[in-house]
Amino acid sequence: MRKTLRMVLIALIVLVGGGVVAYLGVVSGGKGDGHLRATGTVEAQEVAVGAELTGRVAEVLVSKGQQVHAGDLLFRLDDTLLQAQRREAEAALGTARAQVEVAQANLEAARLQAQIAEQQAHLAEQRQRLAPWLDNAPADFVQPLWYFTQEERLAAAQQEVEAARQAWEQEQQSLQAVLDLASSANLTQAEERLQRARQAYLAAKAVLDQAKASGDPSLQDQAQAQFDAALDELKAAQTAYDRLLTTKAAQDVLEARARLAVARERYDAALDRWYALQTGEHALSVQAARLAVQQAEKALAQAQAAVAQAQARLDLIDRQLEKTRVLAPTDGVVTALNVDPGEVLQAGATALTLGRLDRLTITVYIPEGKYGTLRLGDKATVTVDSFPGETFEAQVVYIAQQAEYTPRNVQTKEGRTTTVYAVELQVYDPAGKLKPGMPADVDFGVR
């Protein structure tokens, strides 16, 4: 009995010892040489390729597993509508450019007209330009006529026009105030009657003169009768008006009308003087010609802006047409193909996936006990079954910051006590021998 118990204990110790040795073997790589080794799979950096536009796929030029180079055409969207829009935009651009040519011609014509107007105005102002030198200044003037420049005389003349206009408007209001007085009502009616009679007299006299010229007695008799009636009315209206001139209201109206007449004449004289000074470059014809040049310049600018807008629209359509041709963004292998001709592809949707052979990586998992032995940038060697005896260089580019269980779906408590850390390495393969999916062994060396 005691012998049997001793054999059981020995068996347990052997089993426990074997478990310890197996655990240490995982850490050391299983060869007892102290190297840290792990196994993973060669992976390529994947690039999802899609279209920037929504459209129907017209043609797919690659197949799954095919190797492509950057710039190769992968697939093409239907561009029928965009081509029609481009023809329309191209026609609009041609029209806009033609409008620019017309606007340029109009500008040249306007500039020529302005030059002609300036020449004519310069010749016309010769007498006015020499007047300050040749004419004598009024006796009340101290300075000679040439003392002030033409611009100064123009400014003063314009100010006088404005002052005269205000004075004229004021006298109009004054006359209306006098006429609105009740005491001048009769005089106002008499003035209206006299004015009508004078107009009727002038019309009748013109008719009588025409009748006399015709030599027809019947016409002369009728015209004479009409003239006599108009003359009688004129005399009667004049007599009625004369009787009212002795009143105070009549005198007020007379003075108000006189002031209005003088104010109006002052305004007209100021205008005449202002217009007379508008010679040479200040002539209205020159100003109008210069304004026409400015308008032509604005029209040219608008036409040029229309060309720029039409060109921008054409460029936009060309850019959209370029986007119907989807090119490979990098060298790689088509690892997934998700579209066929005739399908409608949404903008941004993945049409195919490229694996970059110039960015090969391997992800392995190391035990928690070896976590501190690795650093970013550490070197390692990689071997694959497809190329026995050949090694590839690799470098650690990523070390996970959080541990995980391995395998990840363990259900037992004992299994969950073993944790590992993911380590990603970049593999250097200048000859392009390695392919995605190849199993690979990674040797980190002695750790």
| Nearest Cα to Cα of residue 159 among 260, 67, 271 | 271
Name the CA dihedral angle for 165, 170, 172, 178, rounded to a multiple of 10 degrees.
-170
Residues 417 and 356 placed together within one structural domain of the fold: yes
pLDDT interval class at 250 (50, 70, 90): confident
Residue for token pair 């903008």: 347
- Confirm whether 426 is domain-assigned: yes
Domain stop point among 278, 294, 310 = 278
Q: Count of CB atoms within 10 A of residue 198's CB?
A: 15
Residues 157 and 256 in one domain: yes
Task: Kindly state whether residue 90 falls inside one of the protein's structural domains.
Answer: no
Q: What are phi and psi of 351, to 5 degrees?
A: -90, -35
Number of Cβ within a 10 Å radius of residue 211 = 20
- The pLDDT assigned to 244 comes to 76
Q: What is the pLDDT of residue 184?
A: 61
Residues 133 and 62 in one domain: no
Q: Give me the pLDDT at residue 3, please.
A: 37
Q: Is there a single domain that holds both residue 62 and residue 198?
A: no
Determine whether 153 is exposed, middle or buried from the number of CB atoms within 10 Å of its CB (0-12, 13-18, 19+): middle
Among residues 296, 182, 303, which one has the least CA distance to residue 248? 182
Question: Between 141 and 347, whose confidence is greater?
Answer: 347
| Residue closest to 313 by CA, chosen among 103, 95, 93, 109 | 93
Structure tokens at 281: 């470059």
pLDDT of 27 strictly over 80 = no
**CATH code assigned at 353:** 2.40.30.170
User: Which of the listed ranges 134-143, 165-174, 188-197, 417-426 does the model predict with the highest average pLDDT?
Assistant: 165-174
Mean pLDDT of 343-363: 93
Predicted model pTM: 0.54
Residues 158 and 272 in one domain: yes
Cα 15 vs. chain centroid, distance in angstroms?
A: 82
- Judge if 268 and 381 occupy the same domain: no
Segments forming the whole domain that contains residue 377: 25-77+331-446
Higher-confidence position of 21 and 344: 344
Nearest alpha carbon to residue 55 among 86, 78, 75, 74: 78
Which secondary structure element, helix H or strand E, spans residue 422, and what is its range? strand 419-428
Confidence of residue 8 (pLDDT cuts 50, 70, 90): very low
Same structural domain, 29 and 143: no
Which whole-number Å values give the CA distances from 186 to 236, 255, 413, 440, in the listed order? Answer: 15, 17, 128, 127
Residue 272 lies in a domain: yes
Give the span between the Cα atoms of 266 and 258, in whole angstroms: 12
Question: Which pLDDT band, with edges at 50, 70 and 90, does 376 fall under?
Answer: very high
* All residues at 6 or more sequence positions from 390 whose CB lies less than 8 Å from its CB, including other chains: 383, 433
Q: Determine what percent of the chain falls in helix, strand and coil, rounding each to the nearest 5.
A: 55, 20, 20
* Domain end marker among 278, 305, 340: 278
Residue 171 in domain: yes
Note whether residue 116 is domain-resident: no
Residue 307 in domain: no
Query: Which tokens sit at 382?
Result: 């990689």
For residues 36 and 148, membership in a common domain is answered with no
Evaluate whether residue 101 is within a structural domain.
Answer: no
One domain, residues 189 and 64: no
Tell me the mean pLDDT in the region 113-121: 83
- Are both 150 and 248 inside the same structural domain? yes
Which residue, chain included where needed, has tokens 């003169």? 209
145 against 416, higher pLDDT: 145
Q: What is the mean pLDDT of the chain?
A: 84
Residue 163 lies in a domain: yes
User: Is the CB of residue 383 less than 8 Å from the CB of residue 362?
Assistant: no
**What per-residue confidence (pLDDT) applies to 135?**
63
* pLDDT value at residue 131: 64
* C-beta pairs of 397-403 under 8 Å, 24+ apart in sequence: 397/361, 397/424, 397/425, 397/426, 398/422, 398/423, 398/424, 399/371, 399/374, 399/375, 399/423, 399/424, 403/368, 403/371
| Residue 222 reports pLDDT greater than 80 | yes
Where is average pLDDT lowest: 98-107, 187-196, 224-233?
A: 187-196
Span between the terminal Cα atoms of the chain, in Å: 48
From 53, 40, 260, select the one nearest 168 (Cα to Cα).
260
The answer to whether residue 305 scores a pLDDT higher than 90 is yes
Mean pLDDT check: name the lowest of 10-14, 411-415, 434-438. Answer: 10-14
Rounded to whole angstroms, how far apart are CA atoms 261 and 167? 11
Q: Is the pLDDT of residue 283 over 80?
A: no
Mean pLDDT computed over 106-116: 91
The pLDDT assigned to 426 comes to 95
252 with 364, same domain: the answer is no
162-220 pLDDT, tens per residue?
Answer: 999 999 999 999 988 887 774 566 777 888 899 999 999 999 999 999 999 988 888 99
Interval 61-76 mean pLDDT: 95
Q: What integer is the mean pLDDT of 139-152? A: 73
Q: Number of folded domains in the chain?
A: 2
